[in-house]
Amino acid sequence: LAAGIAAALSSSAMAADMTVGFSQIGSESGWRAAETSVTKQQAETRGINLKFADAQQKQENQIKAIRGFIAQGVDAILVAPVVATGWDDVLTEAKDAKIPVVLLDRGIDGPEDLYLTSVASDQVKEGAVAGGWLVETVKDKPCKVVELQGTVGSTPAINRKKGFEQAIAGHSNITIIRSQTGDFTRSKGKEVMEGFLKAENGGKDICAVYAHNDDMAVGAIQAIKDAGLKPGKDILVVSIDGVPDIFAAMVAGEANATVELTPNMAGPAFDALAAFKKDGTVPPKFIITESKLYTPADDPKGEYERRKGLGY
C-alpha cells in the first residue's frame, strides 16, 4: 500500500495544496467539539483544503462520507471511527483508490494496511491512570465504584474499562458495583448516574464515579448534587479528557481527577501526511499522544483559562 500511495502522492495533485476529507463522529462532547475546531485551525494554518463531514454519531454516515471523499478524489482522508468494527470494505475502497487514511483518536478492528497511521492516545493507559489515582487516593478504605462507559463498541470505551480494571486488580477494597454506557454525553451521563444513585441507597453506598469522559462526569456531578450529596467529597469523581468544564468543577471542589486527552490529533496527522507526500516517508503505525493526570493540585483555574484560550 505504502509504495502505491507514495507514487500517487508524488503526483502534482499533492504538490502544494492538499485536499483532505475529515469524517468526524459528531459533537457528543466538549472534547469532540475541541478536536473539530483544532483540526479546522490546523488545516487553515497549513493551507490545507479541509472537507468536513459530521456523521451525527452514525457509522453509516461516516461510511457514506468516506465514499463521497473517494469519489471526489481527495488527497487523504481523516476518520475518527465511532465504533471499532465494520470498516474493512470502505477502507479497502480508499486503499484501492490509493488515498491514504489516517485514523484519529479511536482505533478499528481491522487489518493495519487499511490505514497509513493512527493518531490516538493509549486508551488502556488512560483507564489505568484513572484507576491508579483512585487506588492511591482511597488506599485501604473500602470503595464501591460506579462506571459510566463511553459509546458501546468504541475503542475508548473498551480500552478505558480494561485499563481501569487492570489498575484496581489486586485491590480487593475497590469494586465496580455498576457499569453502564452514558454514550460519552453529558445528558446520558446524568441520566445513568441518577439510576445508579437510586439503586444504591440514594448514593450513600457509592464511593466514586469513574466516567470514560469528562462530559459524562459533569452530568454525574449534577445528578449527585440533585440527590443532595456533595460530588468530589461524598462521591469522588474521576474521568478522562481535560476539558475546561472539568477544571471548573475542580475549582468548585466537585471533581477530583482527570486524564488529559489532547484535541490536537490533526497536527501529527497532517505532519505525517506531509512527509509521506514529500518523499514517501512512512510514519509509525501508531502515533501515541500523552495521558497526563490532573488533580486540583495542578492549578485548575489556570488550566481552565489556558484551554479556553486555545478555543475549547
Interacting residues with ligand AHR (CB under 6 A): 28-29, 31-32, 105-106, 156, 184, 213, 215, 240-241, 261
Q: Tell me how far, at minimum, the Cβ of 105 lies from ligand AHR, in Å.
A: 4
Using DSSP's 3-state secondary structure scheme, residue 254 falls into: coil
Q: Tell me how far, at minimum, the Cβ of 4 lies from ligand AHR, in Å.
A: 29
d(C-alpha 214, C-alpha 10), whole Å? 42
Q: Which one, 31 or 276, has the nearer CB to ligand AHR?
A: 31
Q: Tell me how far, at minimum, the Cβ of 240 lies from ligand AHR, in Å.
A: 6
Q: Which one, 94 or 240, has the nearer CB to ligand AHR?
A: 240
- Give the CB-side neighbour count of residue 189, counting CA atoms within 13 A: 27
Please give the angle made by the CA atoms of 236, 213 and 243, to the nearest 5 degrees: 95
Q: Which one, 34 or 143, has the nearer CB to ligand AHR?
A: 34
Give 231's strand partners.
235
Q: Which one, 79 or 143, has the nearer CB to ligand AHR?
A: 79
Q: Tell me how far, at minimum, the Cβ of 116 lies from ligand AHR, in Å.
A: 19
Give 286's strand partners.
118
d(C-alpha 176, C-alpha 194), whole Å? 17
Q: Tell me how far, at minimum, the Cβ of 241 lies from ligand AHR, in Å.
A: 5
Neighbouring CB atoms inside 10 A of 135's CB total: 17
Q: Tell me how far, at minimum, the Cβ of 141 lies from ligand AHR, in Å.
A: 28
Q: Which one, 87 or 276, has the nearer CB to ligand AHR?
A: 87
Sequence length of the chain is: 312
Q: Tell me how far, at minimum, the Cβ of 156 lies from ligand AHR, in Å.
A: 4
Q: Which one, 100 or 107, has the nearer CB to ligand AHR?
A: 107
Q: Which residue has the cell 459509546?
A: 151
Please give the angle made by the CA atoms of 28, 33 and 35, to the nearest 5 degrees: 120
β-strands 236-241, 208-211: how paired? Answer: parallel
Range list of H helices, the chain: 2-9, 30-45, 59-72, 88-96, 123-138, 155-168, 186-199, 214-226, 244-251, 266-279, 300-309
Q: Which one, 203 or 244, has the nearer CB to ligand AHR?
A: 244
